């Protein structure tokens, strides 16, 4: 009772905080971007029109509203460049997330089954790369993957290839970069669920006649699904919008949506189209998020 009274006021503030944050740093900027996406380019400052001038009076505002149109969205749907960019982004994200799950799951499982004292060490090892700037690590990969880079030297020394392999500016290089960068985001939520799971459940399955692979598929994996969901979302969503890794490591013949956005903004100076592309991206990403949330809700309902 007393603790509830002591914490009542701070708790109320803490409960409001996320909403304040959402409004200030998500909804307000989103409104700006939405407005720009409904505008047209103009050689002006800012480079679009109409501009809402609150001092110009009621009629001017009405005129500005009337000038808004969904032309940019029509363009996005009709122009192949954008459609391809979206499809490519989703394909890359899907492939990379699958790779991440296949690589991250065994690592997370191994970590969760280590003796307690070693788990902390493994955790540090997973997080340590973050101590170096992300950009520097990607440039390091350029070094490793280039024509006379470390990877080719090793492959040549082991006589696995007779000629240096072209890595840079290929999709392989991009996938290496993405998997490398996002692996901790896959491992950590998986590890958290797997470490929480009681090993005695696996023993029970084994005791009831399940060989090891069935123990995994019927008990371990289903129970780790919340971690799988979190890891997949944490990787999939940012990878769809990924800009730096494909820009530095992949070839320039097919662009992801992040790169297309960058082009529209900084090369073409077409803010309205770029804004429209950003909004469509957001909507596309909302779909898996909502699906995940519904899945979680259903799991919760089943649990009661």
Residues that bind other proteins (CB under 8 A): 198, 200-201, 203-211, 214, 218-219, 222-223, 302-304
Quote the least distance from Cβ 208 to other proteins, whole Å.
3
Question: By C-alpha distance, which of 101, 107, 109 is closest to 223?
Answer: 109
CA distance 48 to 202: 61
Q: Is the Cβ of residue 10 or residue 211 nearer to other proteins in the bound state?
A: 211
Quote the least distance from Cβ 105 to other proteins, whole Å.
18
CA atoms within 13 A on the CB side of 8: 5
CA dist list (Å): 262 to 95, 103, 144, 181: 23, 31, 27, 21
Quote the least distance from Cβ 270 to other proteins, whole Å.
50
Quote the least distance from Cβ 293 to other proteins, whole Å.
19
Q: Is the Cβ of residue 59 or residue 198 nearer to other proteins in the bound state?
A: 198
Quote the least distance from Cβ 113 to other proteins, whole Å.
14
Q: Is the Cβ of residue 85 or residue 219 nearer to other proteins in the bound state?
A: 219
Q: Which residues contact 199 (CB under 8 A, 6 or more apart)?
A: 113
Q: Is the Cβ of residue 18 or residue 209 nearer to other proteins in the bound state?
A: 209
- The radius of gyration of the chain's CA atoms, rounded to the nearest angstrom, is 25
Quote the least distance from Cβ 42 to other proteins, whole Å.
58
CA dist list (Å): 282 to 30, 34, 140: 10, 11, 31
CA distance 26 to 37: 16
Question: By C-alpha distance, which of 253, 255, 257, 252 is closest to 284?
Answer: 257
Q: Is the Cβ of residue 10 or residue 303 nearer to other proteins in the bound state?
A: 303
Q: Is the Cβ of residue 208 or residue 282 nearer to other proteins in the bound state?
A: 208
Quote the least distance from Cβ 161 to other proteins, whole Å.
42
Question: By C-alpha distance, which of 88, 39, 84 is closest to 270?
Answer: 39
Quote the least distance from Cβ 235 to other proteins, whole Å.
24
The 10 Å CB-count burial string (b at 16+, else e) for 181-190 is bbbbbbbbbb
Q: Is the Cβ of residue 129 or residue 199 nearer to other proteins in the bound state?
A: 199
Coil, strand or helix: which one is 128? helix
Question: By C-alpha distance, which of 70, 79, 97 is closest to 181?
Answer: 97
Q: Is the Cβ of residue 109 or residue 175 nearer to other proteins in the bound state?
A: 109
CB–CB of 81/260 below 8 Å? Answer: yes
């Amino acid at each position: 009772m007393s603790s509830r009274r002591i914490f009542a006021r701070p708790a109320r503030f803490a409960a409001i905080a996320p909403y304040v944050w959402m409004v200030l740093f998500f909804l307000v900027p989103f409104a700006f971007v939405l407005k720009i996406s409904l505008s047209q380019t103009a050689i002006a400052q800012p480079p679009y029109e109409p501009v809402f001038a609150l001092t110009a009076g009621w009629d001017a505002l009405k005129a500005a509203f009337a000038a808004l149109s969904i032309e940019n969205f029509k363009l996005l749907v009709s122009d192949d460049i954008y459609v391809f960019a979206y499809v490519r982004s989703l394909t890359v994200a899907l492939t990379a997330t699958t790779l991440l799950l296949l690589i991250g799951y065994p690592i997370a499982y191994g970590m969760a089954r280590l003796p307690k004292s070693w788990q902390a060490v493994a955790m540090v090892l997973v997080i340590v790369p973050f101590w170096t700037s992300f950009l520097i690590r990607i440039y390091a990969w350029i070094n490793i993957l280039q024509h006379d880079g470390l990877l080719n030297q090793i492959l040549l020394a082991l006589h696995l290839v007779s000629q240096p392999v072209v890595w840079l500016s290929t999709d392989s290089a991009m996938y290496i970069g993405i998997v490398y960068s996002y692996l901790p985001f896959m491992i950590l939520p998986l590890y958290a669920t797997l470490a929480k799971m009681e090993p005695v459940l696996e023993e029970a399955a084994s005791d009831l006649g399940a060989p090891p692979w069935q123990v995994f598929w019927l008990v371990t994996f289903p129970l780790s699904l919340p971690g799988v969901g979190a890891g997949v979302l944490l990787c999939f969503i940012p990878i769809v919008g990924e800009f730096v890794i494909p820009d530095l490591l992949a070839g320039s013949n097919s662009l992801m949506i992040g790169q297309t956005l960058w082009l529209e903004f900084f090369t073409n100076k077409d803010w309205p189209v770029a804004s429209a592309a950003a909004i469509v991206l957001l909507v596309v990403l909302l779909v898996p998020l909502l699906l995940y949330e519904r899945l979680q809700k259903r799991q919760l309902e089943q649990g009661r």
